[in-house]
A and B are shown apart, each in its own frame.
Chain A
């Protein structure tokens, strides 16, 4: 018995329905062959592909979705381009494949080879076939869709890894050691990886060129443009020295082959360590902030077109003096343009406000990160890379204690020996002895500090005695902040799952893993900041009777 299903094709269909086209009738051909005795069974017709586009708004979709069984096309009077196309293709009977109220495909049949119409039996057979075929087809579609999505995800992940690798390759692994200056840098990529970069380039005359930049766009293309910009800056910086000339030259070179929709914002600053003199030029980047010793914040102004947009740009230079005790912040728009859940942007005024609160370069970067986290709240994804370079010219009048500024109560280090967390607690409590804490607040602070210090000693520094844990205690009205820093860099979650006592008692979770849980339940905020190898946890304890 020859198979009679012809023709079969995979027609295109807009929307997510799919079509299966078959026609033919084995039984009638068999009878005809036998009945005539002599007439041979005709050869099956050639396979032909029937392709019918159905627009998503074609009324026939609604009709088929609501139709309980096989539909004779000749009986339809719909105004439907798809119906016309089906008729033109010789289709006479359509069995909609509907599952869960959704049209997932059509079984389309041409005229019966026996030249008679489709019988009641035929229709019943087709209907029951459709009942089985529809869910199976839907399942197949879902599986295929998932496979496509999984492939897409895998490709994206791969691309992200490549972009990350390229980018990390070009970020400095060490900060420069500048006499009488403190330098801090912070870089945190967004999930999708933008094209931020920063660099410190030594110049032949002993000055230092500080560079901060941001490539528009994301992913591998941005990382590649960032890599070439970085290379061009490294090459022209020591040769041309003048920030304006460097930007102009890099712009000329970039314009030649930068992809059309991309450009680079960049600020180049040359710093004379001894005098605090800075000369800078700006290609469309955020303006640096300077915090004076009295807490006043000013901008360093210089403007110019971003790099890579058009050749022939001249970049003006500006100069300023950073006095002893002043701090300077260079940063990317990932900081200022981050939104919170209400859709508000962190913005320049808030950034300037945070700059005004800082008392050291490291604190400047830390504060920006913690204040940004406080502003966005949990569960908000970081939109863009965040890069900050903070510089402080040492030798100011010292730490301030006025207004709402944070007052540093103590800084100290302990060796990473097990048990030293008790020492940390003792010294933190000593430092806050003048702050009016309730017994409950004191106890909660003790437990949180002990657990944080223990994590830093054992997990961050791996109990290597020679590696210090740095502790800083700050006080501002209504708030105690304790920073605990180890040199373990980014570390995997110590306690990856929320401890659950039922699971622990049932032997389904280790009895351990209470550390972070305790910390988070003891204080009002816990922030993790990673700058290079420095991993800092900042604990914030709100004090009721102190404002």
Chain B
């Protein structure tokens, strides 16, 4: 299933959530690019990548996430993530993405920003 996304703002202080679903691979390029374009239009809030409905991330997907992280850093915007399975959390750790993206067990934890996993 090709990647789809939905962007909304949640919480106080507000966080822009990109809720992703499907597969984060080569086909997800357009989805991730336009999702982040939307985030930029929305405002300066941190962005939360919600992977709860994602069933597959491959090396090309990792490259896309690196690209998105690069854009966010250029905007001076914090990037958070949630909904990653243990396996993908491990991949975030070995690729060191989790050094730059705070990973939370669920959306509520990310919004309150307290219980960093």
Contacts and interface: CB of A to CB of B under 8 A. Distances in A.
Interface of A: 418, 421-422, 439-440, 443-444, 447, 450-451, 454, 499, 501, 504-505, 507, 510-515, 517-518, 521
Interface string B49-67: 0000000101110111011
B63 A501 contact: no
A245 B61 CA distance: 63
A457 to B, nearest CB: 12
Main secondary structure, interface of B, reads helix
A454 B67 CA distance: 21
29 contacts: A421-B58, A422-B56, A439-B86, A443-B86, A443-B87, A450-B56, A450-B58, A454-B59, A501-B95, A501-B96, A501-B97, A505-B66, A505-B69, A505-B70, A505-B73, A505-B100, A511-B66, A512-B63, A514-B59, A514-B62, A514-B95, A515-B59, A517-B59, A517-B95, A518-B59, A518-B62, A518-B94, A518-B95, A521-B94
B31 interface: no
Interface string B85-106: 1110001001111011000000
Contacts of B94: 517-518, 521
B77 interface: no
Contacts of A501: 66, 95-97, 99-100
A518 B63 contact: no
Interface string B4-43: 0000000000000000000000100000000000000000
Which of B66, B73, B94, B96 has the most CB atoms of chain A within a 10 A radius of its CB? B66
Contacts of A444: 87
Interface residues of B, number: 23
A451 B58 contact: yes
Contacts of B62: 514, 518
Contacts of B86: 439-440, 443
Contact of A512 (B56, B59, B91, B97): B59
B37 to A, nearest CB: 17
Nearest to A418: B26
B67 A440 contact: no
Nearest to B68: A511
A504 B58 contact: no
Main secondary structure, interface of A, reads helix
Given A450-B58, A512-B59, A518 B91 contact: yes
A447 B56 CA distance: 9
A505 B73 CA distance: 8
A504 B70 contact: yes
A188 B92 CA distance: 37
A499 B58 contact: no
Contacts of B91: 447, 518
A418 B94 CA distance: 26
Interface of B: 26, 56, 58-60, 62-64, 66-67, 69-70, 73, 85-87, 91, 94-97, 99-100
Contacts of A514: 59, 62-63, 95
Contacts of A505: 66, 69-70, 73, 100
Closest 5 CB pairs of A and B: A443-B87, A514-B59, A511-B66, A512-B63, A511-B63
A507 B70 contact: yes
A305 B96 CA distance: 60
Contacts of A510: 63
B110 to A, nearest CB: 21
A501 B56 CA distance: 21
A418 B26 CA distance: 10
Contacts of B99: 501
B24 to A, nearest CB: 12
B33 to A, nearest CB: 13
B58 A454 contact: yes
Given A450-B58, A504-B66, A504-B70, A499 B95 contact: yes
A521 B92 CA distance: 12
A440 B66 CA distance: 24
A451 B57 CA distance: 11
Nearest to A451: B59
Contacts of A515: 59
Contacts of B70: 504-505, 507, 511
Given A440-B86, A505-B100, A518-B94, 12 more contacts: A421-B58, A444-B87, A447-B58, A450-B58, A451-B59, A505-B66, A505-B69, A511-B70, A513-B63, A518-B62, A518-B91, A521-B94
A463 B82 CA distance: 34
A175 to B, nearest CB: 34
Contacts of A517: 59, 94-95
B95 A511 contact: no
A523 B91 CA distance: 13
B91 to A, nearest CB: 7
Nearest to B67: A511
Contacts of B100: 501, 505
Given A504-B70, A505-B100, A440 B59 contact: no
Contacts of B60: 512
Nearest to B86: A440
B2 to A, nearest CB: 10
